[in-house]
């Protein structure tokens, strides 16, 4: 199948591993899905410490389930990417640990206090839902199927984050103040979640032409602002002065893009941002710590004393 045919046929769940697709499509789809899978894994690593820091057993259980979900999403997506035949799951995981794999800007920043958890679990996951809902109509069928499960579980994650935000913003004045401060710190990063503006995006046009993406970065960011600015205000959060947000006559919102630090964003995209490098190092150490498990499973060289019992004659 040549590229022109792919563009003509491109539609929801149009292509699967049985199709003879051109290299350009396979590489673009692999890059996109690998980025998504890496982001699920790195998001889980960011939130994992809060299983222990959660203030109640119910919160601990919910956070534990959330982290498990995110790791599971990553594995689903690596398999969907692997089915394109460009890279193996092991190669993608190695690239992530070695600092070659790219992932979302928000997961490069450290998260230190409990009041920061709804910034990821509500706002970032809410932004992710805006994007992932559109990917249920992506042209690579294994990716779309994975999104069915991911979107179902992410819906619970957003509700979980919203409940944390509600609890904090109806708590003590100190909790409300600290949550507002966390929101002011994370708000610019959240707005940049969808990537560079359309005029700076290097991959959108091709991904859209072959059906991998359904909406542009600016369209997704616009939909998120219209939905989540009212939600933030509902819970008593004040929208920060920077970046400037303007309300249009029709009640929709726009962000002054020049107020955002795009230089920092593109440094992050190259895995050169110092906090993000720390996150990558953490992933590398974790992968190295269980290297012996993978080696044992791959070699099937089980010690004699651990051999399973033989059936009786």
Between 223 and 307, whose confidence is greater?
223
Question: What pairs with residue 247 in β-bridges?
Answer: 253
- Output the average pLDDT for the chain: 90
pLDDT score at 275: 64
Task: Please check the confidence at residue 292 and state whether its pLDDT lies above 50.
Answer: yes
pLDDT score at 312: 46
Task: Please check the confidence at residue 22 and state whether its pLDDT lies above 90.
Answer: yes
Tens of pLDDT along 155-173? 999 999 999 999 999 999 9
pLDDT score at 270: 86
The answer to which of 20-34, 229-243, 287-301 has the lowest mean pLDDT is 287-301
Backbone angles phi, psi at 190, to 5 degrees: -65, -40
The CATH number covering residue 258 comes to 1.20.1260.10
- Whether the CB-CB separation of 280 and 288 falls below 8 Å is answered with no
Query: Any idea what the Cα angle at residue 176 is, between residues 175 and 181, rounded to 5°?
Result: 95
pLDDT score at 38: 95
Q: Please check whether residue 296 lies inside any domain of the structure.
A: no
Tens of pLDDT along 26-54? 999 999 999 999 999 999 999 999 999 99
Q: Please check whether residue 265 lies inside any domain of the structure.
A: yes
Spatial separation of the C-alpha atoms in residues 83 and 304, rounded to whole Å: 36
Q: Please check whether residue 298 lies inside any domain of the structure.
A: no
Q: Please check whether residue 299 lies inside any domain of the structure.
A: no
How many domains are there within the chain?
Answer: 1
Tens of pLDDT along 67-117? 999 999 999 999 999 999 999 999 999 999 888 999 999 999 999 999 999
Q: Please check whether residue 301 lies inside any domain of the structure.
A: no
Task: Please check the confidence at residue 308 and state whether its pLDDT lies above 60.
Answer: no
- Whether the CB-CB separation of 32 and 65 falls below 8 Å is answered with no
Q: Please check whether residue 33 lies inside any domain of the structure.
A: yes
pLDDT score at 272: 81
Backbone angles phi, psi at 37, to 5 degrees: -65, -45
Tens of pLDDT along 265-290? 999 888 887 766 667 777 777 777 77
Task: Please check the confidence at residue 129 and state whether its pLDDT lies above 50.
Answer: yes
pTM of the model as a whole: 0.89
Q: Please check whether residue 300 lies inside any domain of the structure.
A: no
pLDDT score at 283: 72
Q: Please check whether residue 64 lies inside any domain of the structure.
A: yes
Task: Please check the confidence at residue 189 and state whether its pLDDT lies above 60.
Answer: yes
pLDDT score at 90: 92
- Domain ranges, residue 225: 3-288
């Amino acid at each position: 199948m040549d590229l022109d045919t792919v563009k003509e046929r491109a539609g929801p769940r149009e292509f699967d591993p049985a199709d003879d697709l051109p290299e350009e499509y396979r590489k673009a789809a692999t890059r996109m899905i690998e980025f998504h899978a890496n982001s699920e894994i790195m998001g889980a690593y960011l939130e994992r410490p809060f299983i222990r820091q959660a203030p109640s057993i119910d919160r601990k259980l919910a956070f534990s389930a959330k982290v498990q979900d995110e790791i599971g999403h990553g594995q689903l997506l690596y398999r969907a990417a692997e089915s394109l035949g460009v890279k193996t799951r092991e190669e993608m995981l190695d690239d992530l640990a070695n600092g070659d794999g790219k992932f979302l800007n928000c997961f490069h920043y450290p998260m230190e206090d409990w009041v920061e958890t709804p910034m990821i679990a509500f706002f970032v996951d809410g932004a992710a839902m805006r994007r992932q809902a559109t990917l249920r109509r992506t042209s690579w069928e294994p990716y779309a199927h994975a999104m069915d499960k991911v979107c179902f579980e992410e819906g619970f994650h957003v509700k979980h984050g919203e409940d944390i935000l509600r609890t904090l913003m109806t708590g003590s004045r100190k909790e409300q103040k600290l949550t507002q401060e966390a929101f002011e710190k994370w708000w610019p990063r959240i707005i940049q979640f969808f990537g560079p503006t359309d005029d700076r995006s290097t991959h959108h046009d091709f991904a859209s032409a072959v059906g991998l993406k359904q909406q542009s970065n600016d369209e997704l960011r616009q939909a998120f602002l219209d939905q989540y600015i009212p939600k933030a205000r509902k819970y008593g959060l004040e929208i920060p002065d920077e970046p400037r947000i303007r309300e249009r006559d029709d009640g929709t919102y726009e962000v002054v893009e020049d107020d955002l630090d795009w230089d920092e964003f593109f440094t992050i995209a190259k895995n050169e941002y110092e906090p993000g490098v720390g996150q990558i190092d953490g992933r590398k150490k974790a992968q190295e710590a269980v290297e012996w498990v993978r080696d044992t499973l791959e070699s099937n060289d089980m010690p004699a004393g651990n051999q399973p019992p033989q059936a009786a004659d």
